[in-house]
């Protein structure tokens, strides 16, 4: 009996173990996984999983995952002996023989860390003066950043911090928001200059154009904008 879990009944926990076996039940659209040597930890949004307090390490637990949720699990193709990390809630259940035990009920896995870093990459890829990129930053990236901040604030108590903590994720979003806002203002200012309009008639590359355009923005601020959006000095 997993007695170490009893005092955490109905509490949110983070877990990491290895896939020992799995079986699909088509009638219930569920996959049953046997997780070997799962380490179960008490979540702390300010700490990575490996730094959090250990509740217990069990011989195994059974995990039941709806087919629709499988794509959100952090593992490699559900291969046998592959590591898997997941969140869940401690539950009490009764076995067929009438005995009682405790296990982990698999909750819907948060995709927030993935969404945040996917957006970051997308923003870093939008580093041209083309109208489509500026439109993307204004009409999609900025509203998306605001939405992710709101979701992150609401999810602080049930955040999977396997690879990134709450401060890491919030800091990334705030940095992106500031960087994108400053970049849009910078580009709009540059596009209003006569020099830029003249350069548009030439065949210079984007990088060459930016190098030759003078702005009133302090160098330190420009460097910060470049850094926030991936414009390292060697690119400029």
SS3 annotation, 99-119: CEEEEEEECCCCCHHHHHHHH
CATH class label, 3-106: mainly beta
Q: What is the per-residue pLDDT for 182?
A: 86
Other CB atoms closer than 10 Å to residue 101's CB: what's the count? 15
And the tokens for 138? 């204004």
Q: What is the pLDDT of residue 230?
A: 45
pLDDT at 202: 64
CA distances from 48 to 43, 54, 72, 158, 228 (A): 9, 12, 19, 13, 24
- Domain borders along the chain are 3-106, 112-235
pLDDT value at residue 236: 36
Cα separation, 75 vs 35, in Å, equals: 12
Which segments in the chain show pLDDT lower than 70? 195-197, 199-236
Condensed to tens digits (0 to 9), the pLDDT of residues 168-207 reads: 999 999 999 998 888 888 888 877 777 666 766 665 544 4
């Amino acid at each position: 009996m997993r007695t170490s879990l009893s005092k955490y009944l109905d509490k949110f926990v983070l877990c990491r173990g290895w896939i020992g076996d799995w079986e699909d039940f088509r009638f219930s659209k569920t996959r049953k996984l046997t997780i070997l040597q799962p380490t179960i930890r008490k979540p702390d949004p300010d700490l990575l999983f490996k730094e959090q307090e250990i509740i217990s390490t069990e011989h195994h637990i059974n995990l039941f995952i709806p087919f629709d949720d499988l794509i959100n699990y952090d593992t490699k193709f559900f291969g046998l002996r592959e590591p898997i990390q997941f969140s869940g809630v401690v539950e009490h259940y009764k076995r067929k023989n009438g005995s009682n035990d405790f296990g982990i009920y698999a909750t819907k896995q948060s995709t927030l860390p993935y969404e945040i870093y996917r957006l970051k990459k997308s923003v870093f890829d939008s580093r041209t003066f083309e109208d489509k990129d500026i439109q993307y930053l204004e009409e999609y990236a900025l509203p998306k950043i605001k939405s992710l901040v709101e979701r992150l604030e609401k999810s602080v108590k049930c955040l999977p911090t396997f690879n990134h903590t709450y401060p890491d994720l919030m800091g990334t979003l705030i940095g992106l928001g500031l960087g994108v806002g400053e970049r849009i203002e910078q580009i709009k200012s540059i596009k209003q200059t006569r020099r830029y309009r003249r350069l548009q008639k030439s065949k210079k590359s984007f990088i060459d154009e930016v190098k030759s355009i003078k702005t009133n923005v302090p160098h330190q601020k420009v460097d910060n904008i470049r850094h926030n959006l991936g414009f390292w000095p060697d690119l400029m």
